Copies of this chain bind each other. A is one copy, B any other.
């Protein structure tokens, strides 16, 4: 069987052992396809970094093989790295209509829209890409138009759920295509790759529609202006706010850059259904009585620069919070954002607003499947092998346990890491080899020019600041002709620490005398001796360790 001598390689380049930057390559012979191409947000210790994209050097090295990017939905952690990766690997991008609409907007922002081929695929459609046939399967998630994919390969069918939940009553369209998943399961699926985000949660994720019921209840009783903060990309959530607004005769204004953009894209493409005359411009909200107004805004994670945070801090140009305003924060905190959100809630309460948030009412549901939903998918797809995806190690591990409890032997379950290669034949699977993978940090215009040394310095500077010591030496004699001058930043209040600064000068002079005595007269030795002497001195005096930068000039 010549056909099957080649093996299928599945190579995750992101999305495992981490939340975000989902990207997985499928390679067979001379063909590679890539599923999703997302970004991650920087960890706390990545000081000053704007965003994180996957290291795709393996794809760049093999770019002649790459046939296209298959995108499952329009969230940042699935599309956000495209503008960076497409610069090096310019191949067509396949996705459903809303997904491509959001990608298009992103490419326009990066001035790349004319350089990229975007190919629209319908839910239910199958496309051919080299050795692969990729089937787009209708799914449900916290963004419209999401798909799971079945990749038909020469060694068998791979089902990749991507992010999903099971919503029997979605806001728009039909539920996930269970029938197709069952059909695939019946005819034999080699490998299942499934979303592990919510695997620690028992039971089911509630339908998006339940949030609409809560909105109706709240809107019915509200006698003042309503503000709803949610994720811009959650078009269905926005639709439900609009529905409740229409029902209770309120106008709707949109606020926050990404909310304005997504609403525009979604309305243009027909994913938001807004009756004539309901939308009003944020600049005109003063023309309507507040009890007839709803403002949909960004900022549900309390991001300091978001519209809601700025309103709460009285820094927003167009919306001022007034006593009686009812603010609904329709989202749960993403881990790490709890304190930001808490600050916004506190600020809103202080301004006299009423605030409804997760611990007080059912104003949010997750977009990811809980344990019972995952069990349904495993049972429908009945794969030979299983590879949990999208999650930190703890989630992958729990998802492996869940699959095992459903009857799959542990040796058929692969807890992978990014860069590892899962090699499959028609009846075998094993981890075999590694490719380059990792994080590429984006800081301003720089992609990859900030690494560990720079971050370590930023960390050091952030903890205790720095002290610059400058001396000018006479070239021939080596005598000090100016300085030492001492400049500090982020260390202590200089005005209150004049004595300390004088002492630092004195200690520097003593260090120079020590150099003289020890005949250490090259600049490197002098700098080291100054640095060591000052470090010990300052630690003794303050228990702090500022960065010390000795600079020697020569005239």
Using a CB–CB distance below 8 Å, which chain A residues touch chain B? 17, 43-44, 47-48, 200-201, 335-336, 338-339, 342, 345-346, 349-350, 355, 359-360, 392-394, 397, 443-446, 449-451, 453-455, 457-466, 468, 470, 472, 481-483, 485, 487, 489-493, 496-497, 541-544, 547, 549, 551, 553-555
Contacts and interface: CB of A to CB of B under 8 A. Distances in A.
A220 B184 CA distance: 44
Contacts of A547: 489
B542 A462 contact: no
Given A397-B349, A542-B444, A544-B444, A489 B472 contact: no
Nearest to A355: B394
Contacts of A472: 472, 482, 553, 555
Given A338-B338, A551-B551, A555-B555, 13 more contacts: A335-B339, A342-B392, A349-B397, A445-B543, A450-B492, A458-B461, A458-B462, A458-B465, A466-B466, A470-B551, A470-B553, A482-B553, A482-B554
A27 B200 CA distance: 51
B487 A544 contact: no
A493 B336 CA distance: 29
A483 B394 contact: no
* Max count, chain B CB within 10 A of own CB: residue among A336, A346, A483, A541: A346
What is the oligomeric copy number? Answer: 2
Contacts of A459: 462
A346 B497 CA distance: 45
B359 A201 contact: yes
Nearest to A338: B335
Given A359-B200, A551-B468, A553-B485, A457 B490 contact: yes
A503 B397 CA distance: 51
Contact of A489 (B461, B487, B555): B461
A542 B47 contact: no
A461 B359 CA distance: 37
A487 B460 CA distance: 16
Contacts of A360: 200
Contact of A493 (B392, B449, B466): B449
24 contacts: A44-B44, A47-B490, A335-B339, A346-B392, A349-B397, A444-B542, A444-B544, A445-B541, A445-B543, A445-B544, A446-B543, A446-B544, A450-B492, A454-B465, A457-B465, A457-B489, A459-B462, A461-B490, A468-B549, A470-B470, A470-B553, A472-B472, A551-B551, A553-B553
Contacts of A464: 48, 443-444, 458
Which 4 interchain pairs have the tightest Cβ spacing?
A: A444-B543, A462-B462, A461-B461, A457-B490
A140 to B, nearest CB: 24
A460 B349 CA distance: 30
Contacts of A44: 44, 339
A97 B14 CA distance: 54
A487 B553 contact: no
B393 A346 contact: yes
Contacts of A497: 449
Contacts of A342: 335, 392, 394
Contacts of A449: 492-493, 496-497
A54 to B, nearest CB: 19
A428 B446 CA distance: 63
Contact of A450 (B17, B350, B493, B543): B493
A483 B455 CA distance: 27
A350 B393 contact: yes
A360 to B, nearest CB: 7
Contacts of A359: 200-201
Contacts of A466: 461, 466, 489
A468 B468 CA distance: 9
Nearest to A543: B444
A360 B489 CA distance: 47
